[in-house]
Amino acid sequence: MKNFRKSFFSFYLFVLIVFKAIASPIDDDVCNIFVNIYNSCKRDLKELKPSDRALICNELSLNTAFYFNNFLNNKSKKGENLSKLIGKVCFEACAGKERIYSKIRKNFCK
């Protein structure tokens, strides 16, 4: 039952994160996509215990990467690479780090 709750919670957060990222005005801007993903993952998961957070972050990052891979046309190599980066950014945000995110922000955000 405990694993079911964690899986359900992870799926619920995934849905919230995706809708927040897509519903906000993106204007096809890579920076805004990553900022929205990072902020949503960080904000929604900061109050969990570290052990629960690690499991949920992993599942959440995989789900997010999978969704964006499909959303960005999974036949495209660029879409696949972007979806992997989105998953990694989500995991870092969830874990309280921002190595990849800071590089993306430096290169894409003005």
Q: What is the pLDDT of residues 42-69, one digit of tens each?
A: 776 667 777 777 777 777 777 777 776 6
Q: Please give the Cα distance from 110 to 107 (Å, whole number).
A: 8
- pTM for the model stands at 0.57
Q: Give 74-91 pLDDT, tens digit per residue.
A: 556 666 667 777 778 877
Close Cβ partners of 101 (under 8 Å, ≥ 6 residues apart) = 34, 38, 89, 92, 93
Q: How confident is the model at residue 100 (pLDDT cuts 50, 70, 90)?
A: confident
Q: What local confidence, expressed as pLDDT, does residue 31 receive?
A: 75
pLDDT computed for residue 99 by the predictor: 84
The alpha helices in 1-110, defined as continuous H runs, are 2-23, 30-45, 50-71, 77-95, 99-108
Q: How far apart are alpha carbons 94 and 65 in whole angstroms?
A: 14
Owning domain of residue 83:
2-21+29-108
Looking at the structure of the chain, the number of domains it has is 1
Query: pLDDT of 4-53, one tens digit each?
Result: 455 555 665 666 566 555 555 444 466 777 788 788 777 766 677 777 77
